[in-house]
């Protein structure tokens, strides 16, 4: 099976590329390098021993997209490419809608033209309403509260409509919870530009003295220690979820939606304390006000992915923290 990975040099795409290559899939990777680096192509070769074919193409550049599809003969696409910074999306909503939604429509048009009928799409837990009570099942109420989250919600709807119109077309929509961690080689991982918004990259930068201390956003939530609770999933487990989805795609019609999470919630202080335990007390923190828009407690019901995809996570919080630390150490 030949698979195109859009956004395949990014954090989740690169880890999925490794899993696919190691499981015998032929892959091409496309990315516009907006939030990634071409060095990752070499890193993938170092990890897998295989040279990956890379197309530096923007989803919005229809001529280049068309050319890639005309030559590629793909059986499936895993669609990671997109902008993902929640805060930036509230400042630049049109950029987010154009990149993520128009980009996806361009991709679907190419898939239609070249008769590529299988897609796996990177959606997010942020499509759920924070009024749901965890664990969140796939049929929980949807109500994204920022433009980034709405792009994910709208794309899910577009994919569903297209599946209805084209009976040959099949989609697996994966709603990721909070991916952290890095490949055991320490060669690929999450490396955001500027000051990180997300918890783990902030922690690893504090650990190496690049940032002074972590601000914990609120300790007055209705959670066991008062800090926010999330479902952290190791990125290598998450990558394996895409493999499970690809293996499933020939066995149903239309679309399927799955959460990819562990089913366990950890608080901000659980993460900081675990990180300090396995990586040597490097992270100081202070409690500050809540961050606007944050929910108290979000974690997945992983049952549907387990029952239908046979997907189960294998890696614990300690391993997530240690691998994140090792990646940051390698990239100092
Ligand atoms: P990432 O930014 O590391 O990877 C996305 C890649 O897409 C980047 O390499 C970027 O350069 C590329 N890209 C963006 N716009 C493009 C365009 N127009 N044309 C071509 N390439 C483009 O992000 P990630 O963490 O690997 O996330 C992958 C996907 O998963 C995204 O769609 C994201 O919204 C979704 N997601 C991520 C998280 C998370 O916490 N990391 C959670 C839920 C969902
Ligand atoms: N947090 C801090 N300090 C920080 C950063 C985060 O205390 O410096 C806290 C947050 O308040 C939250 C937890 O750590 O309680 C996790 O925050 P992240 O920013 O790492 O993750 P979010 O759950 O807010 O959101 C992430 C992605 C979204 C995605 C969602 C899926 O940013 O794009 O996970 O669940 F949709």
pLDDT tens digit string along 179-193? 999 999 999 999 888
* 89 within ligand 1 shell (Cβ under 6 A): no
Q: Give the ligand 1 atom nearest the CA of 176.
A: 43
Q: Both tokens of residue 22?
A: 């190691």
Taking the C-alpha atoms of residue 137 and residue 110, their distance in angstroms, rounded to an integer, is: 32
Report the separation in Å between the CA atom of 22 and the middle of ligand 2, taken as the mean of its atom positions: 31
Structural contact between residues 318 and 270, judged by C-beta atoms closer than 8 angstroms: no
Check residue 22 and give its pLDDT. Answer: 98
Below-70 pLDDT ranges, the chain: none
Is residue 43 situated within a structural domain? yes
Say what the pLDDT of residue 331 is. Answer: 86
Strand bridging mode 266-267 / 214-217: unpaired
pLDDT at 190: 95
Domain CATH code at residue 51: 3.40.50.720
72 is in which domain, residue-wise?
2-180+232-261
* Domain contains 35: yes
Task: Look at residue 250 and tell me if it is in a domain.
Answer: yes
In a domain, 316, yes or no: no
- The residue whose two tokens read 């070249």 is 114
Residue 170: per-residue pLDDT? 98
Q: Does the C-beta of 121 come closer than 6 Å to ligand 1?
A: no
Structural contact between residues 283 and 208, judged by C-beta atoms closer than 8 angstroms: no
Is the residue at 14 inside a domain? yes
* Binding pocket residue ranges, ligand 2, CB within 6 Å: 84, 86, 124-126, 177-178, 197-199, 202, 214-217, 228, 230, 268, 291, 294, 298
Neighbouring CB atoms inside 10 A of 25's CB total 18
pLDDT (0 to 100) of residue 194 = 87
- Is the CB of 176 within 6 Å of ligand 1? yes
Residue 279, in any domain of the structure:
no
Structural domain total, the chain: 1
- Is the distance from CB of 228 to CB of 221 less than 8 angstroms? yes
Residue 245 counted as domain residue: yes
Is 314 contained in some domain? no
């Amino acid at each position: 099976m030949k698979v195109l990975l859009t956004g395949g040099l990014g954090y989740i795409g690169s880890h999925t590329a490794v899993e696919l290559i190691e499981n015998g899939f032929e892959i091409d990777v496309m990315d516009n390098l907006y939030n990634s680096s071409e060095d990752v192509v070499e890193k993938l070769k170092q990890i897998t021993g295989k040279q990956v074919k890379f197309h530096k193409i923007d989803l919005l550049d229809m001529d280049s997209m068309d050319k890639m599809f005309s030559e590629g003969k793909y059986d499936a696409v895993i669609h990671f490419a997109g902008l993902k910074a929640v805060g930036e999306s509230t400042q630049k909503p049109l950029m987010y809608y154009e990149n993520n939604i128009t980009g996806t429509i361009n991709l679907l048009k190419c898939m239609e033209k070249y008769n590529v009928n299988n897609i796996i799409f990177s959606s997010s837990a942020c499509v759920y309403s924070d009024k749901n009570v965890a664990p969140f099942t796939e049929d929980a109420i949807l109500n994204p509260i920022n433009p980034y989250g709405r792009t994910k919600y709208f794309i899910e709807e577009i994919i569903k409509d297209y599946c209805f119109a084209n009976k040959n077309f099949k989609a697996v929509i994966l709603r990721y919870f909070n991916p952290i961690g890095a490949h055991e080689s320490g060669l690929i991982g999450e490396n955001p530009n500027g000051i990180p918004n997300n918890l783990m990259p902030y922690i690893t930068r504090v650990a190496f003295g690049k940032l002074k201390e972590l601000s914990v956003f609120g300790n007055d939530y209705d959670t066991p220690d008062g800090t926010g609770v999330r479902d952290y999933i190791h990125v290598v487990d998450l990558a394996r979820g895409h493999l499970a989805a690809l293996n499933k795609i020939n066995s149903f019609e239309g679309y399927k939606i799955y959460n990819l999470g562990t089913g366990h919630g950890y608080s901000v202080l659980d993460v900081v304390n675990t990180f300090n335990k396995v990586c040597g007390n490097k992270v100081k923190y202070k409690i500050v006000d809540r961050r606007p828009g944050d929910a108290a407690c979000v974690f997945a019901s992983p049952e549907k992915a387990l029952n239908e995809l046979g997907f189960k996570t294998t890696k614990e919080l300690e391993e997530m923290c240690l691998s994140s630390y090792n990646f940051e150490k390698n990239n100092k």
